[in-house]
Amino acid sequence: MSRRTAFAALILAGLCWSLGFPLGKLALRETTPAHMVLLRFAVAAVAALPFVLGREARALFASPAVLLAGSLYGLAFLVQFEGLARVSVTLAALLVGAMPALIAVSARLLGERTSGLSWAGVAAATAGAALIAGDPGGAGSLLGILLSLGSLILFLGWFYALKAAPSARHPMAMPSVTVVVAALTVLPVSLVMHGVPRFDLSAAAWAGIVGQGLLATTFATAAWQFGSSRVGSASAGVFINIEPLMGAILGVALFGDRLTAALAGGGVLIILGSLAVVLGEDPATPHDAPPTAA
């Protein structure tokens, strides 16, 4: 399978993930973050159910790495949307741009070669995240920013748990198991935090939840796991920047978010820094990453 196909899958994943923040804001008007994430993963799990019933997918439930990946994935979204409830769509989206830098640093620590250009990109992306966090311009609280950044650590754990997971021939086996495990992880946490979720939501709220479940969860997870298993960690990570870029645009266009100088400058640093990361990646690196699906 060509790298071009892998990159196309990563672009699709980034575009679908970018819908998560605006769709989430629609649902958060009527429900709590924990309940919204629970319903989102419930929708995703139902969509994934036909693929989970296969023998290959069922075998993945016995893998500790797969169970860890699914659990971290669900918890990461819980923390992320607790943060989104306290910040604007634009701010939350731009903070996700720090993820490629985290992946690049961790990839180097785990033995993947990283060039000086990549490290310069890491520094720029980190500075951008710090600029946004230091001057959110009324776009959110410090707690919301810290929760949003904390969720990235959980997503990083998910990213590398998948690297350690066994391969699967069917392209939907791993992502389907991932979202089902995530749903089962989120269920008790959500119930303990807020009890049974409301179901008498408006059509707009349900549209946000179903859209998140199908596009920003099931489809995005499958596309990401397909593409990221075929390129290096830093190359895969840079495509996450599609999410903050599109999320920020949608936040300003649809939700009336104010794009301050700090948000704009921080966002530019994050995106340019992350592009430098992938441009500075060693050409041999993509072949060093173990596949998670086939």
Q: Model confidence over 220-255: pLDDT tens digits?
A: 988 988 888 777 766 676 677 677 777 777 777 777
Q: In this model, does residue 93 exceed pLDDT 70?
A: yes
**Regarding predicted confidence, which is higher, 92 or 294?**
92
Q: What is the pTM of this model?
A: 0.76
- Residue 294: per-residue pLDDT: 28
Report the 10 Å Cβ neighbour count for 47: 17
Query: Does residue 293 sit within a domain?
Result: no
**Domain-located, residue 269:** yes
Asked, for residue 249, whether it belongs to a domain, the answer is yes
| Residue 27 included in any domain | yes
pLDDT in the model for residue 110 = 72
The answer as to whether 292 is a domain residue is no
Give the number of domains in the chain. 1
Task: Indicate whether 141 belongs to any domain.
Answer: yes
In a domain, 103, yes or no: yes
Q: Interior CA angle at 80 toward 88 and 235, to 5°?
A: 100
Tens of pLDDT, residue by residue over 96-151, are 777 776 777 777 777 766 677 777 877 787 787 677 666 655 666 788 888 988 99
Task: Give how far the C-alpha of residue 140 lies from the chain's centroid of Cα atoms, to the nearest Å.
Answer: 20
Task: Supply the mean pLDDT for the chain.
Answer: 82
| Boundaries of domain holding 109 | 3-287
CB 17 within 8 A of CB 216: yes
> Does residue 105 belong to any structural domain of this protein?
yes
Burial of 169 (0-12, 13-18, 19+ CB in 10 A): exposed
Per-residue pLDDT of 143-181, as tens digits, reads 888 898 899 899 989 988 988 889 888 888 999 999 999
